Structure 1
């Protein structure tokens, strides 16, 4: 079943066409990864799917499976420094006035799941980048969404922390439907079920490959070759 169906989509940003007649489908439980050069419209496509770029859509349609909720996990963790970690995780309930003992217990459980049990007493400014992103991941899980749009959520982290967060997201979001934007070919190969390249010229979106092995994947020679192929195609798209 398709949970997101983008058909004949044309998107314009700042009076500049990003792409035209783009088709894309996200299947239930699938992790689709979107790569491409900066400025081709990857984040704009995510924002359009989230309903944040309606004015930029000049043609086509985006259909979300009825009753399916969408959550966003971005590069910037978006933590509120005046809130403690538990209230940051249960932010949706904090803002809606629905916070109670049950939501607090759920937030606490999620913080334990993402490995933050030793840091609950700390204010946000004392957390490392990786720790902050763990809290952001817990906040995303708290929303109980069916579809997660991930916009380079690990790109600002060091290499080891990035791998750890990829593993954690792969475990905790395993059953979700994911659309991940990344500039990192290695991340794409580790996490994606389907890998797409978004280009500045037709065909704007092309499926590069599909995997059937469990994620996150261990690094093998074949995946290294695919990473090199991704890098080569990205370089060619810049010419």
Structure 2
């Protein structure tokens, strides 16, 4: 009686190659949880499976092998050996596995280079700053070449500027190496920035598991809602979160009649031009398109304006204000292959912090065909924000 459960009814899966963040205040059960994940603490009930194997059923020798070959750990206070050089510290995980000296030193040097410590191999920990010492800790974990990294408040002992640098480093390394990472933190902004998914703990219980966006925009309960109330949404929400469908698209291989028809139907003054595989080719405006029709031209050659400023779908909202302010058109969102995913009108961006648009589905592309005598209805999906560049005048359409 009188016993408090440090972790209770916690259940989750961590996907291969993701950063899974466990977030909670002091006393929420984070440290207990991570120590169970590598077998340092044994749960009183339940199981912990790694690649389908329950580690709670392992003996001491098997657990030691697991920690040497499968799981590496990065600690809050670096846990470096003061009497060993940077290179020797980075190679320690391989040393306990009896990897030959030259091989382990070569691997350790490789990962020291990865974390930006080339040339510091012969220094000692007390000759390094806190951020550099933590880089050694990360290099040591990476040099062990385990599939899983457990990071227990790894950056919390660092000052804010160095902490952000370390977050950037971790994201860069993850993009290159694709490790499976369980990251423990009490800092909500850090959790939101790093986590592919975040588990929020309170008194040893999971309040919610989801992406940063899901937790921010759809909190599971009042506790989570209050917790995220002061989060800087501009650093969490991305272009993908706020983009909407473009109201007018035409095929790059089509002609001006198709462009004029879609402009008339959508009551828009411009249309984005895309290829058959939806790569963004540029934008066509109403007046040049109508003029091309009057001149009997059959292609869009010469009237498509390219050089549009595009943004990546993962661009934080905080970085969208300048391109949106500088562009008279909605800013196109494209993937690395140039495929048009959506657009961000200014008004949509300004209202995004209060309301999240989820209009991200596929959108139709109008191909070239003879112009209809009747104007089609204005799309129900079109928002007033997307019309911000004005509508086509009736005289212009009549001339076409």
Question: Could you say whether these structures have the same fold, taking a TM-score greater than 0.5 normalized by the shorter chain as the test?
Answer: yes
Inter-CA distance 178–96: structure 2 relative to 1 (3 Å threshold): closer
Distance apart, 1:172 and its partner CA:
1.5
Misfit runs of 4+, over 4 Å = 210-214
Provide Cα deviations, 1:161-200, integer angstroms capped at 9, x if missing partner: 1111111111223301111111111111111111111111
* TM-score, structure 2 as length reference: 0.48
* TM-score, structure 1 as length reference: 0.77
Distance apart, 1:219 and its partner CA:
4.6
Q: Which has the larger radius of gyration?
A: 2
1:220 aligns to 2:208 (yes or no)? no
Contact 1:70 1:148 in 2 (8 A): yes
Q: What is the match of residue 192 of structure 1?
A: 195
Which of residues 12, 25, 29 is equivalent to 1:37? 25
Distance apart, 1:32 and its partner CA:
1.1
Inter-CA distance 191–81: structure 2 relative to 1 (3 Å threshold): same
1:59 aligns to 2:45 (yes or no)? yes
Provide Cα deviations, 1:115-144, integer angstroms capped at 9, x if missing partner: 112322321111110010011110010111
* Structure 2, gaps ≥5 residues long: 54-65, 215-237, 241-313, 319-348, 355-400
* Structure 1, gaps ≥5 residues long: 1-13, 227-239
SS for the counterpart of 2:87 is helix
Contact 1:192 1:211 in 2 (8 A): no
Q: What is the match of residue 124 of structure 2?
A: 123
SS for the counterpart of 2:203 is coil
Contact 2:198 2:210 in 1 (8 A): yes
Distance apart, 1:104 and its partner CA:
1.2
SS for the counterpart of 1:22 is coil
Partners of 1:106 and 1:189 in 2: CA distance: 32
SS for the counterpart of 1:117 is coil
Report 1 or 2 for greater relative contact order, CA contacts < 8 Å, sequence distance ≥ 6. 1
Trace 1:142-153 onto structure 2 (pairs within 5 A). 142-153=143-154
Partners of 2:122 and 2:315 in 1: CA distance: 35
Trace 1:61-140 onto structure 2 (pairs within 5 A). 61-65=47-51, 69-140=70-141
Q: What is the match of residue 23 of structure 1?
A: 11
Inter-CA distance 43–61: structure 2 relative to 1 (3 Å threshold): same
Inter-CA distance 138–33: structure 2 relative to 1 (3 Å threshold): same
SS for the counterpart of 2:13 is strand
Partners of 1:89 and 1:138 in 2: CA distance: 6
Partners of 2:149 and 2:114 in 1: CA distance: 18
RMSD: 2.8
Whose strand proportion is higher, 1 or 2?
Answer: 1
Inter-CA distance 171–158: structure 2 relative to 1 (3 Å threshold): same
